[in-house]
Amino acid sequence: MRDIMGMMGKVKEMQAKMEQMQAEIAELSAEGKAGGGLVTVVISGKGDLKSLKIDPSLFKEDDVEILEDLIVAAHKDAKDKAEALAAEKTKALTAGLPIPPGFKLPF
C-alpha cells in the first residue's frame, strides 16, 4: 500500500512539474529566418505568430510568390526551433521515465 501512496505522490509531483513546464514553453519564443534574413518570423512556444519582418527590397510585384514562400519557410524554421526548445525542456523533466520513442509531451 505504501508503494501506491508513494507512486501517487510522484504522479502529483510530475503533474505539477508538467504544468509549470507547459507555462514555460508558452513563454518561449523562437525566431526563424528565410532568404538570408530577408524574412524573419518570431513565434511563441505554442506556435502563435508574434512578429513578421520583411526586408523592403522584396516589395516588388514580380516577387510576390517568392515573398510568400519565404514567409512560409521562415515560419517553419521558427516552429522547428520552438519544438526543439520544448523537446529539450520535456527531456529534462522526463529524464528516467520509460516513455516510448516518438511520444510527444506536452499532450
| Domain assignments of the chain as residue spans, ordered by start | 1-95
Instruction: Report DSSP state, residue 56.
Output: G
CB 89, CB 45: distance < 8 Å: no
The average confidence (pLDDT) of the chain is: 80
For domain 1-95, the CATH architecture is 2-Layer Sandwich (3.30)
Q: What digits encode the pLDDT tens for the residues 15-38?
A: 888 888 888 888 888 899 988 998
Closest CA to 30 of 14, 17, 12, 45: 45
Does residue 85 surpass a pLDDT of 80? yes
- Per-residue model confidence (pLDDT) at position 102: 60
CB 2, CB 10: distance < 8 Å: no
